[in-house]
A and B are shown apart, each in its own frame.
Chain A
Amino acid sequence: EPEVTQTPSHQVTQMGQEVILRCVPISNHLYFYWYRQILGQKVEFLVSFYNNEISEKSEIFDDQFSVERPDGSNFTLKIRSTKLEDSAMYFCASRETVNQPQHFGDGTRLSIL
């Protein structure tokens, strides 16, 4: 069964550094998402992406964050000037159409030191 893949599985970064989290959505999916989950808390929506542009974003997704689909397969989340509170699990998800469920990747655990 096709899967959403995320790399790396764990990223450790110094505070203030930039980090790029990578995702390869399922190939025929059209809608892409990033979520984060701070340890022990609920999953929070960051951004959705469709037709090569952001379709929705949450309050969390400020100027520090950006997303990109640099080619036909990758979907990246860039966090500029990371802060301690950015430490979380970041999930990428994709879905085929509006009525289909989102399929999640296994997540990238981001640790900011």
Chain B
Amino acid sequence: AQKITQTQPGMFVQEKEAVTLDCTYDTSDPSYGLFWYKQPSSGEMIFLIYQGSYDQQNATEGRYSLNFQKARKSANLVISASQLGDSAMYFCAMREGLGNQFYFGTGTSLTVIP
């Protein structure tokens, strides 16, 4: 089974609108961390937001928030007030327990339309 599943290969959003990028994960370890990264067309990987499995509140970082639903094993990224510069690939990733390996999803390509 895939550790991280991103079911939306491509998404479009109107500028200034909010968009939700889906991510579900699979682990039996009670301790894990969930991460979102942005990869613009230039190729670099940019860390956006982190959610720990024991965190009581959903993580937020500026226009990014993480809709963490533990029972559903989902960690959706919400981008509010989309900007043209948000157009990029977005990867969800997970670290299990104290392990060193990060598991990445296949990514979602987001296009912001002016």
Q: Whole-angstrom distance between the alpha carbons of A93 and B100 in the complex? A: 11
Confirm or deny: A18 has a beta carbon within 8 angstroms of a beta carbon on chain B.
Answer: no
Confirm or deny: B99 has a beta carbon within 8 angstroms of a beta carbon on chain A.
Answer: yes
Confirm or deny: A75 has a beta carbon within 8 angstroms of a beta carbon on chain B.
Answer: no
A34-62 interface bits toward B, Cβ cutoff 8 Å, 1 = contact, 0 = none:
01000001111100101000011010000
For chain B, what secondary structure do more than half of its interface residues adopt (helix, strand, loop), or is it mixed?
strand
B78-93 interface bits toward A, Cβ cutoff 8 Å, 1 = contact, 0 = none:
0000000000000101
For chain A, what secondary structure do more than half of its interface residues adopt (helix, strand, loop), or is it mixed?
strand
Question: Interface stretch among A21-29, A64-72, A77-85, A95-103?
Answer: A95-103
Least CB distance, B35 to chain A, in whole angstroms: 5
Q: How many residues of A contact B (CB 8 A)?
A: 26
Chain B residues within an 8 Å CB radius of A45: 101-104
Q: Could you tell me if A43 and B45 are in contact, using CB atoms closer than 8 angstroms?
A: yes
Q: Could you tell me if B47 and A103 are in contact, using CB atoms closer than 8 angstroms?
A: yes
Q: Whole-angstrom distance between the alpha carbons of A39 and B37 in the complex? A: 17
Q: Could you tell me if A31 and B100 are in contact, using CB atoms closer than 8 angstroms?
A: yes
Q: Whole-angstrom distance between the alpha carbons of A19 and B11 in the complex? A: 37
Chain B residues within an 8 Å CB radius of A109: 43
Least CB distance, B90 to chain A, in whole angstroms: 12
Closest to B104 in A: A43
Q: Could you tell me if B33 and A48 are in contact, using CB atoms closer than 8 angstroms?
A: no
Chain B residues within an 8 Å CB radius of A31: 100
Q: Whole-angstrom distance between the alpha carbons of A50 and B42 in the complex? A: 29
Chain B residues within an 8 Å CB radius of A89: 43
Q: List 11 A-B contacts (CB under 8 A).
A: A31-B100, A33-B100, A42-B107, A43-B45, A48-B100, A48-B101, A101-B50, A104-B44, A105-B44, A106-B42, A107-B44
**A interface residues with partner B (beta carbon < 8 Å):** 31, 33, 35, 41-45, 48, 50, 55-56, 58, 89, 91, 93, 98-99, 101-107, 109
The 9 closest A-B pairs by CB, nearest first: A48-B100, A104-B45, A43-B104, A106-B44, A42-B106, A101-B47, A56-B100, A55-B100, A56-B101
